[in-house]
Amino acid sequence: MKKIELLAPVGDFECLKAAVQNGADSVYFGANMFNARASAKNFDIDTLKQAIEYCNLRNVKSHLTLNILIKNNEFEDAVFLAKKAYEFGVDSIIVQDFGLANFLIKHFPYMSIHASTQMSIHNLEGALELQKLGFKRVVLARELAINEIEYICQNCNLETEAFIHGALCISYSGQCLFSSLVGGRSANRGKCAGPCRLPYELISENADSNSKENIISKLSVKKDKILEKGYLLSTKDLCGLSYIPNLIDAGVTSLKIEGRMKTPEYVATVTKIYRKYIDLYFENSEEYKVDPADIKALQQLFNRGGFTEGYYTSFAGREMMSIERPKSWGLKVGIVDKYLPKYKKVTIRTREPLVPGDGLEIWTQTEPHVGTNVSKHSKAGEVITITLEGDINKNDVVYRTFGKALQDELKKTYEKDTRKLPIYGMLRVKEGEPISLQLWDNGGNSVFVSGSIVEPAGSSPMLPMKLRENISKMGATPFVLADLQTDIDRYIYVNISEVNRVRRAACEALEA
């Protein structure tokens, strides 16, 4: 069984490091133009080159999102951007515009073109048309069930990519014009204003069945005709941990995490957890089980009233919606036990451990929440007291919206470059010859560097172990020396600084 790719979102260089260091096989990111997340930090030409090189040096694939509809007067600039990414060594370009895709397929035959989810590919016939046109991969629409995905995978030769975690749209993939109509900002141009995250009222269809008033005037309908209020179009985020085995068995090529607008900590957490469960399934599929602690970690970073499993096994319904609030809720950590307004003291029965720096929100009846910070350590089950003023009542729910311990732990996962490319070496140190070092990798890249002439030893010959030790010091390079072969005379002398210089020069040459 071919191992599935884990594809992580990257909004800036910190997110790139967070994704790579936490186990992403591939990443996707946008340049500072022509991508569907215009408000993300994204990359200019210089940082785009750095990002692609960072990935290549760590055996991680990179995908550029050039996934908006392109106007005539933008076409040359879009092609220029694709060409630069191609020259930098990007692995693929994700495209929505058919005209641009057709041009790139014809003029850049060695570069993979992926069909964006914005192309709305919901069936096998759509996938087969893309295959005829020369696409390498299709990012399937998010509305497909597992059996539909499997049918497409088994009946076409395209690579397939399915969303596994992150925000969902209420509309069909690639078909939303809501933001464009109400705000003049088109999602298909990368500028979605998120109108589905705003509050709405559900009005009875028969509010005035005898009236000939139009839709506009009905907006002022009487309150007794309003069936429901809230964030009625705001979907919960997708969490597909339970469906990793199904998607692997279905033949999906890549599992995609959504989130180019998210923080590095978010990217680190989601990537790390999905890496864990993909590996778990391949190591022991019969023991596959999701740990509730991992769900809590995901909820702490971002959730809208819990998660949804999307359309994988069922149609959309009320349970998919986050009607009370469109932003992240955080993790439920306690209940208000008592409030003394005179002293502004709130007593909370906790259900999770808390540490100084945690951010809490108390959901009250009159306000969405009241924010505060934790000042003392406490264990789950403890009763704690905090100072807070507000319209607070017994049994109000307490959420932790910022988890200090988790945030600190996550930063450690990408502050250091621990993901290294394994390389191999051959060190030759022979009397009367230049010291020489050859380095190579598994991808066919190889370099040879030589240094000064090796002299016969005086009273203190150079020990082979010392030479091996110094050559193996890869330091801040993106490499780890997996194996070193040697051919070293016993009674020779080499200045250790010359050994280090040769090693540095070889590493720089291989990196280039």
pLDDT in tens, the chain (512 residues): 778 999 999 999 999 999 999 999 999 999 988 876 766 677 899 999 999 999 999 999 999 999 889 999 999 999 999 999 999 999 999 999 999 999 999 999 899 999 999 999 999 999 999 999 999 999 999 999 999 999 999 999 999 999 999 999 888 877 888 888 888 888 888 788 889 999 999 998 765 555 545 544 545 555 568 899 999 999 999 999 999 999 999 999 999 999 999 999 999 999 999 999 999 999 999 999 999 999 999 999 999 999 999 999 887 788 999 999 999 999 999 999 999 998 999 999 999 999 999 999 999 988 778 888 898 999 999 999 998 888 999 999 999 999 999 999 999 999 989 999 999 999 999 999 999 999 999 989 999 999 999 999 877 788 889 999 999 999 889 999 999 999 999 889 889 999 999 999 999 999 99
Backbone angles phi, psi at 333, to 5 degrees: -120, 0
- Over the Cα atoms of the chain, what is R_g? 28
Report CA-CA distances (Å) from 246 to 9, 69, 252: 22, 33, 9
Say if residue 424 is exposed, middle or buried (CB neighbours under 10 Å; 0-12, 13-18, 19+). middle
Instruction: Give the type of residue at 184.
Output: G
Query: Kind of pairing, strands 446-453 and 434-440?
Result: antiparallel
Look-up of token digits 């809208």: 304
The per-residue DSSP string of 355-397 comes to -TT-EEEEE-SSSS-EEEE--S-B-TT-EEEEE--SS--TT-E
Buried b / exposed e across 114-124, counting CB within 10 Å, b at 16+?
bbbbbbbbbee
The DSSP 8-state label assigned to residue 457 in this structure reads P
Cα–Cα distance for residue pair 323/345, rounded to 1 Å: 30
Of the candidates 345, 334, 324, which has an alpha carbon nearest to the alpha carbon of residue 382?
A: 334
Single pTM value for the model: 0.90
H-type alpha helices, 144-290: 146-154, 178-183, 215-218, 244-250, 264-283
